[in-house]
Amino acid sequence: MRKLKKVLYRKNGRIAYVTINNADKENCLTEQVDRDLWAVWRDFRDDPKLYVAILTGAGTKSFCAGSDLKDYVRRVAQMSPEANRRRAYEGLNLGGITKGITVWKPIIAAINGYCLAGGMELAMACDIRIAADHARFGVVNRRWNVGCESGLTQRLPHIVGLGVALDLILTGRWFDAREALAMHFVTRVVPRRRLMEEAAAMAEQICSYPQSSLRTDKEALIRGLGMTLEEGLRLECGLWNTNLGLRDTLEGPRAFVEKRKFVPTNVT
């Protein structure tokens, strides 16, 4: 993988630690950050030794405060309408993971401060969101006439419900970690000093499980959004059946029946 300039990427056993390293600009997303994250997510996806990723921001002030608007204006001003249309479907996406790449391995967002606008979109592209108690959130791009392009209008209603999503997107108001927990935008709030410890413990728990069914279950959840019940059930069953040729698919139930320890081989 090419050298990263604005993202720190560390592998520790089965866990990948991904840190946006742009703290002097509130870990805002620039073209360079997006490129680095794109490379990281592809490497994480393709490395068979890695099971779970934890995404956070450098320092303790910001997880990600959205797009760097100075960089955003410069880039957009230089692009033609045709180039912008191509970018929507083919180009580098915000945060590397908000669209255009599928990763069925679990990703945990450890939100260690401001999580604003595009930062919320990046956090929502992760599977589990844990926040430090000082974290703050908001669709603050509302006041600068910057629309949502990477998940706020599509993922947010599924996470918090349509009414709350409309409230947050249309008012652009700020909200804190406590309200984020109440509306289920995050699933846990912990003291700042314990954030990474909590995320690592969760990642270790996930790593201890067989990975094949875990990944197909995540895929069924994500792909099933918007499907009818019949379509979703067919998808779920079809994905499960792709695992039937793997050793662990029957070895796990056999271990339960025989009252012995099951050690996953994690052949995927």
Q: What is the CATH number of the domain that holds 83?
A: 3.90.226.10
Q: Which pair of tokens denotes residue 239?
A: 């994905």
Mean pLDDT over the full length of the chain? 92
Instruction: Decide if 264 is inside a domain.
Output: no
Instruction: Decide if 263 is inside a domain.
Output: no
Q: What is the DSSP letter of 209?
A: S
Do 80 and 176 have their domain in common?
A: yes
pTM (predicted TM-score): 0.93
Do 128 and 23 have their domain in common?
A: yes
Question: Does the pLDDT value for residue 84 go beyond 80?
Answer: no
Do 59 and 146 have their domain in common?
A: yes
Instruction: Decide if 2 is inside a domain.
Output: no
Instruction: Decide if 231 is inside a domain.
Output: yes
Span 221-248, pLDDT tens digits = 999 998 999 999 999 999 999 888 887 7
Question: Does the pLDDT value for residue 91 go beyond 70?
Answer: no
Domain region containing 69: 7-207
Instruction: Decide if 104 is inside a domain.
Output: yes
Burial class for 43, CB neighbours closer than 10 Å (0-12, 13-18, 19+): middle
CA–CA dist 30, 209 (Å, integer): 36
Instruction: Decide if 199 is inside a domain.
Output: yes
Do 88 and 118 have their domain in common?
A: yes
Burial class for 11, CB neighbours closer than 10 Å (0-12, 13-18, 19+): middle
Do 119 and 162 have their domain in common?
A: yes
Do 61 and 160 have their domain in common?
A: yes
Q: What is the DSSP letter of 4?
A: P
Range of weakest confidence among 44-53, 86-95, 204-213: 86-95
Q: Which pair of tokens denotes residue 12?
A: 């520790």
The number of distinct structural domains making up the chain is 2
